[in-house]
Amino acid sequence: MQSVRTSWPGAVELQVALDEPWADPGLPAEVKALAYPELVGETPVGTRVLLNVSALARGLGTGGYALVVAPADQVPPDRPTGRGHLVKARYTPLQAMVLGVDDQESEHHEALADADDLAGLPVVVADLHSAVPAIIAGARHAASLAGRPTPRVAYVMTDGGALPAWFSRAVAGLREAGWIASCITTGQAFGGDLEAVTVHTGLLAARHVVGADLVVVAQGPGNLGTGTRWGFSGVAVGEAVNAVGVLGGRAVASLRVSGADERERHLGVSHHSLTAYGRVALQPADVPVPVFDGELAALGARVAEQVAPLASRHRLVELRAGADVLVALGGSPVRLSTMGRGLDRDPAAFLAAAVAGQHAVALLD
């Protein structure tokens, strides 16, 4: 390991020179690598490390990182023995044992043991992790316009993308800026401020432990898709709508929208949203539909046509996504980027997420 490039809570970005060549000689001799100290221990300069480069070699969406598996010449120290028996990333070499908020040993176990009701708590569900800061920006903007207090937001991270919450620089930045009160990792995901077994207990913890006014549910960074109708990790947003409905919350279904994606299946409203909300979500949700101005007006007409069939199960709510919302998005404390495109290249993606946050705040009345 040559140097530490940067770090944020839970993660350290390293510069590593490879001592074995790639099978492809065109790949670089030095790489960025990401280490999670909680799993692999400290990696000071000069440490030889074992790297997993499989996704990096294929050019997949890992943020351009190799991943540190372990120091090559020493065993990481044992983690201090603590409470908790939840095992996440189960039966992998780097499985993590954590204290769940719903664990019998947790101080919150009694509060959650028979918890069964969100009492109308607004919950915005979204396909992509990149929607999270935009949703919150929209919610904060709406609260400001209404002259009401800024909502206390909990982020429930599902396990369709990255499993460690530490991978997300957005979560670290949003927490530091005070935009999220807590990150709750559910399923096989781990590393949040609170750990939960299921999306259901994650939602209940957001209400009964965090005291959230508003919840955002989305997978961690990364998104798995195969170009097939059902083979994508975003199917889980339909299941999240069901969880919210079963628990008596108010589900708000954020649409995945793009005006710049070159793939027809993702242009306008992504087929991911249409499938998840149209086929998987059996509980009703509010679906905020962005109404675009100016150059995006034609895209808005396409979006309205694409979502019309969802009205048979859900309530479509048209919301203007104008210049004021764009300004609010520009105030995000973390960089807005989706599928490699920023706010300037694909404003529709972030505007669609922001209006979902705006609508969620309207449900607080």
Q: The domain that contains 159 carries what CATH number? A: 3.40.50
The answer to whether residue 24 scores a pLDDT higher than 80 is: no
- Position 62 confidence tier, pLDDT thresholds 50, 70, 90: low
Whether residue 105 is contained in a domain is answered as no
Whether residue 331 is contained in a domain is answered as yes
- Distance between CA 159 and CA 268 in Å, rounded? 26
- State both tokens at 93: 């070499």
Whether residue 83 is contained in a domain is answered as no
- DSSP label at residue 78: P
Same domain, 13 and 152: no
Whether residue 298 is contained in a domain is answered as yes
Same domain, 59 and 130: no
* Mean per-residue pLDDT, 328-351: 94
Q: Report how many domains make up the chain.
A: 2
Same domain, 42 and 148: no
The answer to whether residue 46 scores a pLDDT higher than 90 is: no
Angle between helix 131-146 and helix 347-362 axes, rounded to 10 deg = 50
- Distance between CA 2 and CA 4 in Å, rounded? 7
Task: Determine if the pTM surpasses 0.85.
Answer: yes
Same domain, 12 and 151: no
Q: Dihedral through CA 75, CA 77, CA 79, CA 81, nearest 10?
A: 110
Which of 14, 39, 71 is the C-terminal boundary of a domain? 71
pLDDT number for residue 84: 81
Q: What is the mean pLDDT of the chain?
A: 92
Q: Which residues contact 75 (CB under 8 A, 6 or more apart)?
A: none
Same domain, 267 and 353: yes
Spatial contact of 34 and 53, defined as CB atoms under 8 Å apart: no
- List the domain range (segments joined by +) for residue 57: 3-71
What would the pLDDT profile of 220-258 be if each residue is shown by its tens digit? 998 888 888 888 888 999 999 999 999 999 999 999 999
The answer to whether residue 23 scores a pLDDT higher than 80 is: no
Q: In what order do the strands lie in the sheet with 66-71?
A: 3-8, 11-17, 30-35, 66-71, 49-52
Whether residue 91 is contained in a domain is answered as no
Same domain, 152 and 65: no
Distance between first and last Cα of the chain: 54
The answer to whether residue 164 scores a pLDDT higher than 90 is: yes
